[in-house]
Chain A
Amino acid sequence: MTYALEVQRLDKSYDGAPVLRHIAFGVEPGSTTAIVGPSGCGKTTLLRLIAGFEKPDNGTISLTGRVVAGDGWMPPHRRSVGYVAQDGALFPHATVGANIGFGLPRRSRKNSTISRLLEMVSLDPSFASRRPDQLSGGQQQRVALARALAREPELMLLDEPFSALDAGLRATTRRIVADVLAQARITTILVTHDQPEALSFADQVAVMSDGRLAQIGTPREIYATPISIATAQFIGDAVILPAHIDGNRARCALGDIPVALNNIQGKCQIMLRPEQIDVTTNSIGITGTVADIEYLGSEMLLAIQVDTTNNAAPQMVTVRRLGGATLLTPGKRIGIRVLGEAIAYRN
């Protein structure tokens, strides 16, 4: 099958400093891919190369099997690619309606078309006559999306479109955008530095680090079996423990626990997600003391001092519990149980 977007061995540097190195991946038609990574990892540059705002130094970019950069060049306005910038980039001199109709041929800039597009992004058609500065941040982003949707692009690029919005608005806007794109069955790439956003939004998550593609996979794969400790910590909270592996069991401060097989034996480090660690109020088996509580409302993070076993060094672990667990107070003695498998990494 032909990928909607295929990127091969992409390199890009600015003034000799490499920004992207050997980036390669494919995106299936109709799917949603999130590119995540810390600031400065090159993810926005990658998006700009796909949009055609910049040219790669090496490598090729193909859209539905057709090379648009590398072996040949197709300028951005010929690519069937929609682009929504971080700040929306609405044209300040034009009304909402004129913004949305900007890319359409003159005869198709009908009120009915504009209204339909506004309704698609859950905005009232009366918005068409407003000016961009009369809209809230979330509304501006939705207009920017409607504007990009107007030309029915094959590929939609979203460059951190929700990052300028406050928490509540971000969730609603994200849901509306995700629904619209899914209904229109448009292949989508979202760049973000917000991990929950990436995991909830996408079918496929690509983790970038220092200009390289560190890992690509489904959100579950990325979260459950990250390729490195750095990726594990970037994509979510992680408990890292020194361990000794023998066969498929790891001996560590939390006792003997099963590990996912990946050919690592002997001394190493293992990673658990906080929700894999269960605490009980009857202190049998592995035990510990609640050292500190960070109350977050719906849930809370417990810092637990684990009692020394297996000759392991004293260990603090972080555990996630529902916020209603009022019995847990600092100093409380508890029992600890590990659910599922740990992931091992070489030292």
Chain B
Amino acid sequence: MDANPSRRVTARPHLPVVLAALAVMVVAAAVLPLGYVIAATIDTGWSTAAALLFRPRVAELLTNTVLLVVVTVPICVAVGVTAAWLVERTQVPGATVWAVLLAAPLAVPAFVNSYSWVTAVPSLGGLSGGVLIASLSYFPLVYIPAAATLRRLDPAVEESARALGATPWAVFFRIVLPQLRVALAGGALLVSLHLLAEYGAFVFIRFDTFTTAIFEQYQSTFNGTAATMLAGVLVLLCLTLLVIESVVRGSARYARIGPGVARRAVPAQLGWRYTPISLLFLALVIVASLGVPIVSVFRWLAIGGWAVWNWDVVGSTLTQTLGFGLAGAAVTCVLAFPIAWISVRHPGRFSRGLESSTYISSSLPGIVVALALVTVSIRYLHPLYQSVPVVIAAYALLFVPRALVNLRAGLAQAPVGLEEAAQSLGVAPLTAIVRVTLRLAAPATAAAGALVFLGIVTELTATLLLAPTGTRTLSMQFWSLSSEIDYAGAAPYALIMIVLSLPMTYVLFNQSKKAAGL
């Protein structure tokens, strides 16, 4: 009884200085893009900034971007929650198969999805096209945490509500939905950030958002100031979303009160009336988000025949992509490690500060990170401009949180008690960390690396802007071929990206079974 959890908290050892210094350095680098935008805005001066910002074009971009977010996010939430509820809480036929299929659209990069739809329905465009493609690409970001939370909710709470006279619908809206608030707020934030950051998908359907406009501005005129001012507005939008999310989430904690393990809920019967409608809904979602891209890619492969498989180019593209992916994953995991260690072993204000800084900076769109790195490397580190280290740095900045979430979970699975046990068996402290803690965290580290790796494989925006001349990655190759309307030539690269991304979906799906949220 004496071994209460509070002992572990009070007996907290001192923060290791070297580790803390490393973590602070990583965070400082992560804050760089934000600092760059602020510094550049101050540099530009008010009158120039005003001239660049208050013009009809910016108003149009702002309208487009805000409308995109305002329309797409509710659709994603509605689709995600409905799908999650059907799969987790009803006797819909084939629930286990649907559960996996609904997460799978994440394996299709949004720009590949857009390419598939545009080549199937060429009239697609504008806001409606953007909303359609974005909803189909991003609803799993709501579905996965919602399903995970539904699975963990204590059914006893819902049963008590029923016993108090609430109808099933009332239970859903008054009991279940409020408990999903944290998961939904997190999922909606992820969707919004993706909407702000996406480039390729919207270029295909000629829908202008801030990100596409910044890219265009930068590429057509190399007008750094104009692009940076637009980036400033984009950053403000991002920060606004972070604030909205934290307000919506509130300080709510929907933990289970009471001891013991929660039972699984008894799945609701849909009956003869709702079963066909539910199946139709799920089938429509899967066909539109997964079926269309796959059929489309294979259609183009069939049209192109063997000719599109230029094995030399495919081989070198694949090799380069794997190289970038592996190097980026390794660097990102190493950089995330000190932060993860401190947040698990020395929780407190310092660790929370570290985590939230990396979180804020990596919620900035890839285009902003890329612009910042371009400017910094041109001005201060010229030899590094358009070099591999800068690309890797961009990947690390963008994907540190993905690694962090996994590393933290992994380290949390190796309690200090095991290290102490190893020491009492005559093993030196550092050896104990290697033989016990790192060994136990190895699967989670592998998952962290895999997620970062697959993020890099399908990254387009920062890669286009930063990669050294002559670089050919899968996403770049796909992009340049499809931009030249060589849809058949682009198809092999789309297929390889989808196949490579499938494991990521699997990892995410498995992870969600263990911890709520992404």
Tell me whether B429 and A75 are in contact (CB under 8 A).
Answer: yes
Tell me whether A43 and B440 are in contact (CB under 8 A).
Answer: no
A residues contacting the other copy or chain, number (CB 8 A): 43
Question: Any chain B CB within 8 A of the CB of A72?
Answer: no
Contact for A77 among B10, B11, B426, B439, CB less than 8 A: B426
CB proximity to A under 8 Å, residues B405-442: 415, 417-418, 420-429, 432, 435-436, 439-440
Question: Any chain A CB within 8 A of the CB of B55?
Answer: no
Residues on A with beta carbons closer than 8 Å to the beta carbon of B422: 77, 91, 102-103
B residues contacting the other copy or chain, number (CB 8 A): 25
CA distance A37 to B2 in the complex (A): 9
Tell me whether A44 and B3 are in contact (CB under 8 A).
Answer: yes
Residues on A with beta carbons closer than 8 Å to the beta carbon of B424: 51-52, 76-77, 79, 81-83, 148, 157
Tell me whether B432 and A77 are in contact (CB under 8 A).
Answer: yes
Question: Any chain A CB within 8 A of the CB of B221?
Answer: no
Chain A: CB-nearest residue to B1: A39
Chain B: CB-nearest residue to A157: B424
Tell me whether B3 and A89 are in contact (CB under 8 A).
Answer: no
CA distance A15 to B423 in the complex (A): 25
Residues on A with beta carbons closer than 8 Å to the beta carbon of B432: 77
CB proximity to B under 8 Å, residues A17-62: 17, 37, 39-41, 43-45, 48, 51-54
Tell me whether A45 and B421 are in contact (CB under 8 A).
Answer: no
Question: Any chain A CB within 8 A of the CB of B310?
Answer: no
Residues on A with beta carbons closer than 8 Å to the beta carbon of B420: 51, 53, 76, 83, 85, 89
CA distance A41 to B436 in the complex (A): 31
Please judge, given known A-B contacts A86-B3, A92-B440, whether A77 and B423 are in contact too, CB under 8 Å: yes
Chain B: CB-nearest residue to A208: B2
Question: Any chain B CB within 8 A of the CB of A163?
Answer: yes
Residues on A with beta carbons closer than 8 Å to the beta carbon of B426: 77-78, 103, 151
Q: Is the interface of B mostly helix, strand, loop or mixed?
A: helix
Please judge, given known A-B contacts A41-B2, A93-B439, A93-B440, whether A48 and B11 are in contact too, CB under 8 Å: yes
CB proximity to B under 8 Å, residues A104-154: 144, 147-148, 150-151
Tell me whether B1 and A76 are in contact (CB under 8 A).
Answer: no
Residues on A with beta carbons closer than 8 Å to the beta carbon of B440: 91-93
CA distance A238 to B4 in the complex (A): 28
Residues on B with beta carbons closer than 8 Å to the beta carbon of A43: 2
Residues on A with beta carbons closer than 8 Å to the beta carbon of B10: 14-15, 17
Tell me whether B421 and A54 are in contact (CB under 8 A).
Answer: no
Tell me whether A103 and B4 are in contact (CB under 8 A).
Answer: no
Question: Any chain A CB within 8 A of the CB of B7?
Answer: yes
Chain A: CB-nearest residue to B422: A102
CA distance A40 to B428 in the complex (A): 30
| Chain A nearest CB, measured from B6 CB (Å) | 9
Question: Any chain B CB within 8 A of the CB of A193?
Answer: yes
Contact for B428 among A77, A92, A144, CB less than 8 A: A77
CA distance A93 to B3 in the complex (A): 23
Tell me whether A91 and B423 are in contact (CB under 8 A).
Answer: no
Question: Any chain B CB within 8 A of the CB of A6?
Answer: no
CB proximity to A under 8 Å, residues B1-22: 1-4, 7, 10-11
Question: Any chain B CB within 8 A of the CB of A240?
Answer: no
Residues on B with beta carbons closer than 8 Å to the beta carbon of A86: 3
Question: Any chain B CB within 8 A of the CB of A341?
Answer: no
Please judge, given known A-B contacts A77-B429, A151-B426, whether A14 and B1 are in contact too, CB under 8 Å: no
CA distance A87 to B5 in the complex (A): 13
CA distance A51 to B432 in the complex (A): 15
CA distance A85 to B425 in the complex (A): 12
30 contacts between A and B (CB under 8 A): A14-B11, A17-B10, A37-B2, A40-B2, A40-B4, A44-B7, A51-B420, A51-B424, A54-B11, A76-B420, A78-B426, A79-B424, A82-B424, A83-B421, A85-B3, A85-B420, A89-B415, A89-B417, A89-B420, A91-B440, A93-B439, A102-B422, A102-B427, A102-B435, A103-B425, A103-B426, A147-B421, A150-B425, A160-B3, A193-B1
Chain B residues packing against A (C-beta within 8 Å) = 1-4, 7, 10-11, 415, 417-418, 420-429, 432, 435-436, 439-440
12 A-B pairs besides A40-B2, A193-B1 with CB distance below 8 A are A41-B2, A43-B2, A44-B3, A45-B7, A76-B420, A77-B429, A79-B424, A82-B424, A83-B424, A87-B417, A89-B417, A102-B425
Top 9 nearest A-B pairs (CB, nearest first) are A103-B425, A83-B424, A14-B10, A76-B423, A89-B421, A44-B2, A39-B1, A77-B423, A89-B417
